[in-house]
């Protein structure tokens, strides 16, 4: 989900934005999924074609994790919404994932913006990255938001939307915001406080855990294991999932998919300890530049 000020909009306003006429849905086929795309509001043919291309490209970035989309029949709803209405100039000022009755990604989009502006915005990549995991209990919201925040930068770098230096700088800035936010709270405490009171702590502490796990897996296996391979195995066994998972249940499952545990040790070290994960050494690791953020010419 996007940006602090955007969450102040009322539920009534969200409903009003999505109540317009709807362009007939269309299907976008990518490896692993048939995406049901619905565009709401009055959108002309040229902008409709642009939005279809953008959704296809944004969803396709998720293939750069392990070669296929994580759920087979997601629904994507595009709601026309000018960025200024949300108090900013973003091309995609708001997004969210809902899972009742199946996975739905809602994207509020300034449809008049050029394709380059849409492609440069991270919101869609963040929301699609949520689908790499099942629904996570709100008590460990830092996992769901943090892993999506990590992968939005990883995938946009691999797709060439960010340079490696830009991606590293975005993570560095995000971790800095997270470390400066509510240092008296643990990760689980921050989740209990909620996004309005501990947003940066929730989003960026979880992203730091994802980085720590990814780097450890790659370094100890000489690149044969990674967060990508763990999520690949998890998808094969457990997605789509129609239930909510606790953080410990998810991390225990992840550890069962690798030779030696990584995720629960990180959970025990950081989840209930005040402060912020120690990310600096991991971010300086050679595997970040050489492997994690490397541009992919193939999804495999």
DSSP state of 28: E
Domain count, the chain: 2
Boundary (domain end) residue, out of 98, 131, 164: 131
Boundary (domain end) residue, out of 85, 106, 131: 131
Q: What pLDDT, on a 0 to 100 scale, did the predictor assign at position 22? A: 61
**Per-residue exposure over 181-192, b if at least 16 CB sit within 10 Å of its own CB, e if not:** bbeebbbbbbbe
Q: What pLDDT, on a 0 to 100 scale, did the predictor assign at position 83? A: 63
Is the N-terminal amide bond of 228 cis, ω within 30° of 0? no
Q: Tell which residue, 293, 273, 297, has the closest CA to residue 153.
A: 293
Q: What pLDDT, on a 0 to 100 scale, did the predictor assign at position 12? A: 35
Q: What pLDDT, on a 0 to 100 scale, did the predictor assign at position 1? A: 60
Sign of the dihedral through C-alpha 179, 182, 186, 190: negative
Q: What pLDDT, on a 0 to 100 scale, did the predictor assign at position 213? A: 98
Print the domain residue range for 99: 5-131
Q: What pLDDT, on a 0 to 100 scale, did the predictor assign at position 4? A: 41
Residues 148 and 281 in one domain: yes
Q: Domain with 98 in it: what CATH number?
A: 3.40.30
Residues 83 and 173 in one domain: no
Cα–Cα distance, 184 to 190 (Å, whole number): 9
Residues 69 and 208 in one domain: no
Residues 152 and 286 in one domain: yes
Low-confidence ranges of the chain (pLDDT < 70): 1-24, 83-87, 297-300
The residues near 255 (Cβ < 8 Å, ≥ 6 apart) are 261, 262, 263, 264
Q: What is the pLDDT of residues 166-210, one digit of tens each?
A: 999 999 999 999 999 999 999 999 999 999 999 999 999 999 999
Cα–Cα distance, 262 to 255 (Å, whole number): 6
Bridge partners for 27 per DSSP: 36
Q: What pLDDT, on a 0 to 100 scale, did the predictor assign at position 21? A: 54
Residues 22 and 41 in one domain: yes
Cα–Cα distance, 48 to 239 (Å, whole number): 30
Cα–Cα distance, 276 to 208 (Å, whole number): 8
Q: Tell which residue, 177, 227, 178, has the closest CA to residue 206.
A: 178
> pTM higher than 0.85, yes or no?
yes
Instruction: Specify the residue for token string 């074609």.
Output: 49
- Whether 174 and 284 have beta carbons less than 8 Å apart is answered as no
Residues 36 and 112 in one domain: yes
Boundary (domain end) residue, out of 83, 98, 131: 131
Residues 75 and 149 in one domain: no
Task: Please indicate, yes or no, if residue 94 is contained in any of the structural domains.
Answer: yes
Residues 112 and 149 in one domain: no
Task: Please indicate, yes or no, if residue 300 is contained in any of the structural domains.
Answer: no
Q: What pLDDT, on a 0 to 100 scale, did the predictor assign at position 84? A: 63
Task: Please indicate, yes or no, if residue 299 is contained in any of the structural domains.
Answer: no
Task: Please indicate, yes or no, if residue 70 is contained in any of the structural domains.
Answer: yes
Residues 102 and 159 in one domain: no
Task: Please indicate, yes or no, if residue 208 is contained in any of the structural domains.
Answer: yes
DSSP state of 96: E
Task: Please indicate, yes or no, if residue 254 is contained in any of the structural domains.
Answer: yes
Q: Domain with 151 in it: what CATH number?
A: 1.10.390
Instruction: Specify the residue for token string 């929301």.
Output: 127
Sign of the dihedral through C-alpha 280, 281, 284, 285: negative
Task: Please indicate, yes or no, if residue 298 is contained in any of the structural domains.
Answer: no
Q: What are phi and psi of 209, to 5 degrees?
A: -65, -40
Residues 147 and 258 in one domain: yes
Cα–Cα distance, 9 to 226 (Å, whole number): 38
């Amino acid at each position: 989900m996007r940006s602090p000020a955007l969450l102040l909009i009322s539920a009534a306003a969200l409903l009003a934005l999505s109540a317009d006429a709807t362009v007939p849905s269309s299907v976008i086929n990518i490896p692993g999924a048939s995406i049901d795309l619905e565009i709401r509001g009055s959108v002309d043919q040229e902008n409709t074609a642009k939005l279809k291309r953008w959704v296809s490209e944004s969803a396709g970035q998720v293939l750069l994790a392990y070669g296929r989309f994580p759920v087979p029949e997601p629904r994507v709803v595009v709601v026309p919404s000018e960025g200024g209405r949300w108090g900013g100039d973003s091309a995609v000022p708001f997004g969210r994932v809902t899972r009742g009755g199946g996975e739905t990604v809602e994207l509020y989009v300034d449809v008049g913006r050029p394709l380059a502006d849409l492609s440069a915005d991270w919101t869609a990549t963040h929301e699609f990255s949520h689908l790499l995991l099942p629904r996570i209990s709100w008590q460990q919201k830092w996992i769901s938001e943090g892993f999506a925040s990590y992968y939005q930068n990883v995938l946009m770098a691999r797709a060439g939307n960010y340079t490696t230096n830009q991606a590293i700088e975005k993570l560095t800035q995000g971790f800095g915001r997270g470390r400066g936010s509510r240092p008296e709270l643990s990760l689980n405490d921050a989740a209990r406080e909620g996004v309005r009171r501990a947003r940066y702590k929730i989003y960026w502490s979880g992203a730091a855990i994802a980085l720590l796990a990814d780097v450890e897996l790659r370094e100890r296996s000489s690149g044969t294991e990674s967060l990508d391979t763990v999520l690949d195995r998890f998808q094969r066994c457990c997605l789509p999932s129609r239930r909510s998972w606790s953080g410990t249940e998810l991390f225990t499952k992840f550890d069962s998919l690798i030779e030696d545990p990584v995720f629960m040790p990180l959970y025990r070290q950081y989840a209930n300890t005040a402060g912020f994960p120690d990310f600096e050494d991991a971010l300086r690791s050679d595997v970040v530049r050489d492997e994690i953020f490397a541009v992919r010419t193939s999804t495999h």
